[in-house]
Structure 1
Amino acid sequence: MASKASSQAVASLRHLRGLTKRVHVAAIIRLFPKFAKLLVALLFLINIRSWPLAWHIRIFRPVLLRRFQHAWLRARTRFLSRTAQTQAEDRWLDSICPIAANPQETTITYRSWASPDDSDWNLHMSNSCYPKILDGARLKAAVELFPMFFRAGGWLPLAATHFHFVKEIPMLSSYEVRLTMGAWDHKWMYVIGKFVCKPNGKKKRQLVPPPSQPVEGEATASQIIALGNGDSEAVTSSIQSPSGLTPAINNITGTDTRASLNAVAAQLAGKEADGAVLHTIAVSQICFKIGRITIPPSLVLATNGFTGISGYTTNAPHPQWAEAKKIMSYPAGGSPRKLREFLSGGWKNVPDNERWWEIAMGPDVEQKRLKNMSLIDDLRKGMESVGSI
């Protein structure tokens, strides 16, 4: 009798255990859709920066902000007289122009971070995402540096971008893109963008200083840039251009390549004063246009208030700024239409000895411009020579 009761107890226990397993499985099956939905939602949140129109919002945020500021100004001065409105707008335009700023010492900073959707399987920012980030940085810089040029209806086409990868940016790291105007000629301006990360802790890392003379056997800048991705372990350099060409010359060893590329990078970028670590250098070749007419960069710089002559401030600007105001400022007798006509070709009618924009930058800026152009010309010519391969 006891044996029979024990068998029934064991059978009941097994039945209860089986029932429990079925309940657990059923519960899991019922919860699976909820977990799946949660996983999909989490995946979308992680990749929020790649949502439709997210890139456009980031790109045009500086433009929208500037338009909002202008609309707010008009709203605040709506009930003033026409003269008072014009004067208020003129003061606001002066406040957003880089009056008396040295073009070679002006840096625009664009902050971002290496999100998961910008990173690759190596858990650092993908090489393909650098141009995307640079688009936003360039437009932010253009809005802040050339407000009067845009007011006249100008735009900035991009001709080429050269990338020099020095060190990877780990995923989830914050970084800055620091843009400076490296050099310009009668048509092109070369904007240097440095992707940097601020080091953790108080210890600052220093960049490799530029050598005074090339080491014997070291490649020239043109040869360096033409290397492209020849050495997978070395720092690489590439270009984006309408032709889609990628250099592939492998005539220098990996050790020499690294040393030479680092030397050119140091000459172009210099050291960061705050100890930030340099990760990538990008040299963008742009020009200034109104419609299909190309505007000389020196003219754009002068009509936005830049000068390399010391001793002037926003409140006490250089004399060339007064000349620019005569063309583009309503209180001074100018207008955006007159500025557009002047930039579009009217400047050619000004006698050579009266071209105020050519002396606005001063001799120091001109000397440094020529020095930087010699470096960047090697970069440009090296890439253009690839077309003959």
Structure 2
Amino acid sequence: MVLVPSSSRSTTMSLEKLVGALGPLLTSSLGSFFRLLPTVTKYLLFLVLLINVRSWPLAWHFRVFRPVFRVRIQHKLMKWRTMFKSPAGQIAAEEEWFDSISPIGADPFNYTVKYNSRASIDDSDFNGHLSNSSYAKTLDSARFKTAMAMFPMFFRAGGWMPLAATHYHFIREVPMLAQYEVRVSSGAWDHKWLYVVSKFVTKPSKKHKKSHQEVVQQTTPPADSSSTGDLFHASLRTPADEIYDSSTPSETPALVDTSAPAPDTAKALKAVAASLASEIEPDGATLHTISVSQCCYKIGRITVPPALVLAVNGFSVPQFTAADGSTPVVYSRANPPPHWAKAKAVMSRPHGGSTKALQALLKGGWRDVPEAERWWDVAMGGAVEERRRKGLDVVKSLGLGMGGARAL
């Protein structure tokens, strides 16, 4: 038999009474907590799924192929609207519809396609900025939208555009949740490759728009028709690039003698000014990143020259100026360029052409056309050809640099 002191017995009885009194309350609170836990978990799970909605399975595919869905739906609606017309009327209506979505008479260097997006949480990194991988993911959608807008006749003939390389120049970060815009345009091309320039920009708010415009007026250098403009020079070249002799872009650049400080210093200062000005677009938008993508055109496994693809989709020298200096004629759908009639003779059924004839031309039939009769070269001549050559001198350095990296 164990004897317990009276003081301990009283303490034990007090604790038992306290537990007895708190027992129902604790049991009720714990029960409520465990009953509430599944509901909280469901809401948390729903929240996680919601903020990552752009990364759901097939979400990327939907964004990329959305332009295709839209064009196909529009084409189907056009077919339904004209189903009661005669066969000839249906063919004419279809050709008119394809003309309406083609950039007839547009300058390939001034034709820009805009893709809007937002730096969502699932597209941002731990620093609260648009992540590096998200630039590539967004470019997939932006380039696809651009391709559908610029080359509808090429895709009608069964063409496709593989991607060979992409180069990025990061200027400043895109903050998380910020709305941004990708502006895609043609930079240059050669006998095989098309170089696509994409700019990631953010637009200023209305209250800051005026100040942005003032900065543009103060910092943007005057336009020079003899240069490649703000497309490459200000954005892709840095002050460090200016110490190289780029007179022979096809060769490895040689260092300039730095013993002549005055010319080099002046050139470096000009490059710095151009670089600062390039961070603000003409409309006041802020440039965050610039990318150059290297693509080509394919029909099956056959490569198609870019100039031919551009011409069959309506691109051309933007205007014609008479020898007497009269008012230039601006080309458009209502006033198509001279080569458009020859292109329609190949690919348009009302004009004696067909999709099969266009495919044959793109697959290699262009080689059988005498050089003097190649209307696509005429369409891409003049000012377009001059700007193409200058842009090509710039983008060639990208390929040379990456090609040299293979030896590292």
Task: Give TM-score, length-normalised by structure 2.
Answer: 0.78
Q: 2:365 aligns with which of 346, 350, 363?
A: 346
Change (3 A) 1:284 1:264: farther
Deviation, structure 1 residue 37: 1.1
Structure 2 counterpart of 1:89: 94
Deviation, structure 1 residue 161: 0.3
User: Within the alignment, does 1:287 sit opposite 2:287 as a pair?
Assistant: no
User: Within the alignment, does 1:329 sit opposite 2:348 as a pair?
Assistant: yes
Structure 2 counterpart of 1:77: 82
Residue-by-residue CA offset, 1:289-341 (whole Å, 9 max, x unaligned)? 10111111000010000012312121110110111000000100011110000
Would you say the 8 A contact 2:67–2:145 is kept in 1? yes
Q: Which secondary structure state, in structure 2, belongs to the residue aligned with residue 190 of structure 1?
A: strand
Structure 2 counterpart of 1:364: 383
Structure 2 counterpart of 1:130: 135
Greater helix share, 1 or 2?
A: 2
Change (3 A) 1:208 1:159: farther
Q: Which has more radius of gyration? A: 2
Q: Any gaps of 5 or more consecutive residues in structure 1? A: 1-7, 223-255
Would you say the 8 A contact 2:220–2:277 is kept in 1? no
Change (3 A) 1:264 1:99: farther
Q: 2:37 aligns with which of 12, 16, 32?
A: 32
Would you say the 8 A contact 1:97–1:148 is kept in 2? yes
| Aligned counterparts, 1:153-232, within 5 A | 153-200=158-205, 201-202=208-209, 203-204=211-212, 206=216, 218-220=242-244
Would you say the 8 A contact 1:119–1:126 is kept in 2? yes
Change (3 A) 1:23 1:156: same
Deviation, structure 1 residue 59: 0.5
Q: 2:316 aligns with which of 275, 284, 307?
A: 307
One-letter amino acid of the counterpart of residue 68, structure 1: I
One-letter amino acid of the counterpart of residue 309, structure 2: V
- State the alpha-carbon separation in 2 of the partners of residues 67 and 329 from structure 1: 19
One-letter amino acid of the counterpart of residue 318, structure 1: P
Change (3 A) 1:270 1:354: farther
Deviation, structure 1 residue 216: 8.2
- State the alpha-carbon separation in 2 of the partners of residues 275 and 147 from structure 1: 31
User: Within the alignment, does 1:275 sit opposite 2:294 as a pair?
Assistant: no
How many residue pairs were aligned?
345
Deviation, structure 1 residue 267: 11
- State the alpha-carbon separation in 1 of the partners of residues 189 and 241 from structure 2: 30
Q: Which secondary structure state, in structure 2, belongs to the residue aligned with residue 331 of structure 1?
A: helix
Q: Which secondary structure state, in structure 1, belongs to the residue aligned with residue 313 of structure 2?
A: coil
Change (3 A) 1:221 1:122: farther
Q: 1:98 aligns with which of 103, 122, 137?
A: 103
One-letter amino acid of the counterpart of residue 338, structure 1: A
User: Within the alignment, does 1:382 sit opposite 2:401 as a pair?
Assistant: yes
Aligned identity (percent) is 50
Deviation, structure 1 residue 208: 7.4
Would you say the 8 A contact 1:269–1:281 is kept in 2? no
What is the aligned-residue RMSD (CA, Å)? 2.9
Task: Give TM-score, length-normalised by structure 1.
Answer: 0.82
Deviation, structure 1 residue 18: 5.0
User: Within the alignment, does 1:296 sit opposite 2:305 as a pair?
Assistant: yes
Q: Which secondary structure state, in structure 1, belongs to the residue aligned with residue 382 of structure 2?
A: helix
Change (3 A) 1:214 1:68: closer
Q: Which secondary structure state, in structure 1, belongs to the residue aligned with residue 65 of structure 2?
A: helix
Deviation, structure 1 residue 129: 1.2
- State the alpha-carbon separation in 2 of the partners of residues 221 and 60 from structure 1: 44
Deviation, structure 1 residue 220: 4.1
Residue-by-residue CA offset, 1:77-104 (whole Å, 9 max, x unaligned)? 1111000000000100000000010000
Change (3 A) 1:218 1:98: closer
